[in-house]
């Protein structure tokens, strides 16, 4: 007997990889349910596609029992799991409940983090479902095989074995990074992909005149400011950023470097001391709702993205800068989905070219235009989640008929 499925339901599947930031039990603000990329993505899918039914399921190795709750018309389900960081995450109850869900509703399944044990489980147990995986900077095992040693290399080989057998069950890979495509192709030569970003909340990142922003922050009107937001670690070449700025400052003493988002004594902040000793201004944590002032006050946003282990796409801070009409110098802009990337900044492809690119932006701001308009068109939450609707609709139509 044929069972025609009319409902449009999405189950978004994620895991808790930031336990230090997540409440361990339900709280009044609902952060226990909604915290993190999975919750945010689920909320945006529902908000911009209100005709869809959306649930967010999270495996969590840091809770002692199963929880569920409804918020913003989304059901959140939290499954306690057997968890080993960067190795596996398993819950029998999760598998059992998802089997029931698939049998009853046959939803589209969205699994966060393509190269991870959670995705492997869903791809193995639910191969007849319509499955999307997302990639957000995690390394393919093919890449890890080249760059790791010992047990990590062994795990990469095991992961390659899994991926070769189950990646054929992926209907779409949402990826932010063009450089990942050759790795996906190794396990599934015919895979479908969608270049995307999680999007930018353009309503909270609103530009103000540069003079007003500098007055609010107490910045010198006669200086030029380079801005960087993020950790001071090797993957974003923070050391090259500092050295490039120092070379510029020798010739142009009015150019300052502002760094936001860093914390001392953080093991990820390997170049914190270097940046501090260089004379750069380190502002530490800044609330998201205050960032627009810093983007608006700056002359250029810089992100080094040249390493072969950088798989971060355009970067959210990069897009936020553009949303505040501040041009960007970054090779990460190779991933920009709009057709006006050369209006938005410069794309130096070597460390050495960054100096001239930064000075070009500082000295000729008139060359860069339509920045906020472009981000709204291609990367606003609304644009992002209406754009991916085309994929959802395709998969809803193609769902299995019993």
- In degrees and rounded to multiples of 5, residue 170 shows phi and psi of -80, 130
Q: Are 320 and 295 in contact (CB under 8 A)?
A: yes
pTM score: 0.92
Q: Are 304 and 285 in contact (CB under 8 A)?
A: no
pLDDT tens digit string along 92-143? 999 999 999 999 999 999 999 999 999 999 999 999 999 999 988 889 999 9
pLDDT at 1 over 70: no
Q: 9-197+382-397 belongs to which homologous superfamily?
A: Glycogen Phosphorylase B; (3.40.50.2000)
In degrees, rounded to 5, the angle at the alpha carbon of residue 275 between the alpha carbons of residues 291 and 313 is: 55
pLDDT at 3 over 50: no
Spatial distance between the Cα atoms of 340 and 165, rounded to a whole number of angstroms: 39
What letter would DSSP give residue 140?
A: P
Largest CA distance in the chain: 77
Instruction: Share the mean pLDDT of the chain.
Output: 94
User: Per-domain residue ranges for the chain?
Assistant: 9-197+382-397, 210-379
CATH of domain 210-379: 3.40.50.2000
């Amino acid at each position: 007997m044929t069972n025609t499925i009319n409902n449009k339901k999405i189950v978004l599947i994620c895991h808790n990889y930031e336990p230090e930031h997540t409440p361990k039990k339900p709280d009044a603000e609902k952060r226990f349910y909604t915290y993190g990329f999975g919750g945010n993505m689920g909320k945006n899918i529902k908000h911009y596609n209100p005709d869809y039914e959306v649930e967010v399921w999270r495996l969590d190795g840091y809770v002692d029992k199963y929880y569920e709750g409804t918020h913003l018309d989304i059901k959140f389900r939290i499954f306690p799991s057997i968890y080993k960081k960067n190795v596996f995450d398993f819950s029998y109850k999760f598998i059992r409940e998802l089997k029931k869900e698939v049998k009853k509703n046959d939803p589209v399944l969205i699994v966060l983090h393509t190269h991870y044990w959670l995705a492997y489980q869903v791809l193995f147990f639910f191969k007849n479902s319509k499955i999307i995986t997302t990639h957000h900077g995690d390394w393919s095992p093919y890449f890890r095989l080249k760059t790791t040693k010992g047990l990590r290399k062994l795990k990469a080989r095991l992961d390659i074995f899994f991926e070769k057998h189950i990646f054929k069950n992926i209907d779409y890979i949402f990826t932010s990074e063009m450089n990942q495509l050759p790795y996906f192709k190794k396990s599934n030569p015919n895979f479908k992909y969608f270049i995307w970003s999680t999007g930018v909340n353009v309503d909270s990142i609103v530009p103000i005149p540069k003079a007003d922003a500098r007055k609010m922050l107490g910045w010198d009107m006669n200086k030029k400011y380079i801005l960087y937001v993020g950790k001071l670690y090797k993957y974003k070449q923070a050391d090259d950023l500092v050295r490039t700025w120092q070379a510029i400052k020798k010739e142009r003493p009015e150019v300052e470097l502002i760094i936001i988002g860093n914390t001392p004594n953080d093991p990820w902040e390997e170049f914190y001391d270097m940046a501090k000793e260089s004379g750069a201004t380190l502002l530490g944590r800044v609330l998201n709702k205050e960032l627009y002032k810093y983007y608006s006050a700056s002359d250029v946003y810089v992100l080094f993205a040249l390493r072969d282990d950088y798989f971060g796409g355009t970067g959210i801070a990069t897009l936020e800068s553009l949303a505040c009409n501040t041009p960007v110098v970054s090779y990460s802009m190779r991933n920009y989905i709009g057709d006006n990337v050369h209006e938005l900044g410069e794309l130096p492809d070597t460390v050495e070219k960054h100096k001239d690119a930064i000075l070009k932006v500082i000295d000729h701001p008139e060359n860069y235009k339509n920045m906020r308009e472009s981000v709204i068109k291609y990367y606003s939450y609304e644009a992002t989640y209406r754009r991916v609707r085309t994929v959802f609709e395709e998969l809803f139509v193609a769902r299995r008929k019993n």
